Amino acid sequence: MYVVEFTLRSPTCVAQRPTAPGQPTESLRYLTGTVVRGALASLFLRGRRPLSHELSDEERKQFQRIFLSGEVVFGNAWPKHPAEVIWKTTQVVPRTAWSHKRDGGWRGGDNPGGGVCDALTALLYDGAEELTNQGFDRYEQEFACARGGEWEKIEVRRRLISRTALTRNEPSLPAAPRGVAAAGQLYSFEAIETGQQFYAPLHGDTGLIDTLFKLFPRRAIASIGQGRSRGIGQVELRILPSSDPPARDPSLLAKEARDFTNRARASVEQIVYLPVTLLSDTILRDNYLVPCSSGDPQVTLSRYANSPPPKELTLHYAVQSTRWLGGWDAIRDIPRPPQLAVQQGSVWVYAIPPELLDSAIQWWLTVEASGVGERRNEGFGQLCLLHTFHATEAIR
C-alpha cells in the first residue's frame, strides 16, 4: 500500500454540493478520493507529454487501467493531527458519538458524567432520553485522533473568502449558468486553511501504482478543488510507502460483538448485534438500480458483494444521514449528475442468530476489504465492522 501526503499551499475548497445563487459554497473537511484521483491524473498527463500532444494508444490503455478501470482504489485523504508524526491514528467519528453540553470534548475533566460517549447502545435499548436528561447531545466533529486508548479531536481550520466575479466586457457573451456568479457580483466560498496536511491511501495493483509514481518526482505540485485559475487549491504531493493494515482476528471480533450486545441489554443466546460504520460516503442502488439509502443486505449490499450475505442477517437499526453529491469530472470533462449518498460516519446495526455469528463476520470482512456501492475506486463505500469507538460504553 502507498500513501499520498497532501500539504495545502493555498486555501482549498472541495465543494460538497451544488450551490444556489447568492449562497456561499461550503467545503468538506477532507479531500475526497475523487479529488485525489483527479490530482494524480493531472500529474500523469503532465509527466507523459506536453499538453499540445495527445496520448498514444499504449498511454491511453495505461491511463484507462490506472484511473478508470477500478484496479487502483484512491482513498479519501483524511486530516492529520498537527502533533502526530504518523497518519494512521486518524479515525472517522461515528454519528452515534454524543458529547456532554457543559463538559464536552474528548477529555471530560473532573465530571465523571462528562466527555464524549457512544450513544449507540443506549439507542438500541431506548435509553437515549436518559442521556439527553444527563446533558448529552450529538457530537459534531468528523475526525478524531486515537492513540493508546486516548482520543482527541482533529479540527480542520476553515475560513470564508469573498471575491468579485470578473466583469464581462462583451455584451454578446452568454449569461452565467446557474450556480456561477454573474459579472461583477460578490460571491463567497468556504476554504480549508493553508498549511494543513491530509493523507490518502492507495490500494490495488502494485505494478500500476509503481508505474504512476515513477512519472513524477517524490514531491510535486498540483491544483485541486475550486478556483484553481486564481491560485486556490495549490497542494504539494509526496509519496510515502506504507505497510498494509494487519489482518483482523475473527474470534476477537466475535467476542467484541457479544460484549457490544450485552451492553445493548440484549440476550446473546438469542441475537448478536454487529455495528458497521461507514468510513466514507456510500452510493447505493437497489435491485431495480434505483438510488437508495438503505443498508439492507438483501436489497442493496448483496448487489456489490462477491458472495451472498447470510439470509438471517437483518438490518436492525440505523443512525444515518444523506446528502447529494455533484461536481465536475475533470478526467472526462463533463459535469457529474447529482447522486444520493449515505453520509460518512453513519452507522448500521445488523442482527444475526448467535450460531451464525462466525459466518456473518467472515462475510463482513470480505465486504470491508472491497467496499460496497458505486464508485469504490474513488474512495466511496469504505466501511468498518465493529469500529474501535463502539468497543466501550463511554470514551472521554
Q: What confidence tens digit (pLDDT) does each residue in 188-212 have? A: 889 999 999 999 999 888 888 888 8
| pLDDT at residue 17, as a whole number | 65
DSSP classification of residue 128: H
* Pairwise CA distance, residues 138 & 189, whole Å: 26
Q: Confidence band (pLDDT; 50, 70, 90) for 178?
A: very low
Is the pLDDT at 52 greater than 60, yes or no?
Answer: no
| In a shared domain, residues 208 and 116 | no
| Residue found under cell 475526525 | 143
DSSP classification of residue 83: T
| In a shared domain, residues 22 and 55 | yes
Is the pLDDT at 62 greater than 60, yes or no?
Answer: yes
- The 10 Å CB-count burial string (b at 16+, else e) for 251-275 is eebbebbebbbebbebeeeebbbbb
- The 10 Å CB-count burial string (b at 16+, else e) for 313-349 is bebbebbbeeeebebeebeeeeeeeebbbbbbbbbbb
Is the pLDDT at 76 greater than 80, yes or no?
Answer: yes
Query: Could you tell me the residue range of the domain that residue 326 belongs to?
Result: 250-395
| In a shared domain, residues 268 and 380 | yes
According to DSSP H, which parts of the chain are helical?
33-48, 57-63, 120-124, 128-133, 206-213, 250-263, 357-370
Number of domains forming the structure of the chain: 3
| Mean pLDDT (whole number) for 112-137 | 84
| In a shared domain, residues 113 and 127 | yes
Asked whether residue 281 is domain-assigned, the answer is yes
* Pairwise CA distance, residues 179 & 23, whole Å: 9
According to DSSP H, which parts of 138-229 are helical?
206-213
Grid cell in block for residue 287: 435491485
| pLDDT at residue 256, as a whole number | 95
Instruction: Give the end-to-end CA distance of the chain in Å, rounded to a whole number.
Output: 32
Q: What is the pLDDT of residues 261-308, one digit of tens each?
A: 999 999 989 999 999 999 999 999 998 889 999 999 999 999 999 899
Is the pLDDT at 167 greater than 70, yes or no?
Answer: no
| In a shared domain, residues 76 and 109 | no
| In a shared domain, residues 342 and 219 | no
44-58, 85-99, 233-247, 255-269: range with lowest mean pLDDT: 44-58
| pLDDT at residue 177, as a whole number | 47
User: Residue 389 in contact with residue 395, Cβ under 8 Å?
Assistant: yes
DSSP string, 10-31: S-B--BSS---TTSPBPB-SSB
DSSP classification of residue 279: S
* Pairwise CA distance, residues 248 & 384, whole Å: 11
Asked whether residue 72 is domain-assigned, the answer is yes
Q: What is the pLDDT of residues 226-236, one digit of tens each?
A: 888 788 899 99
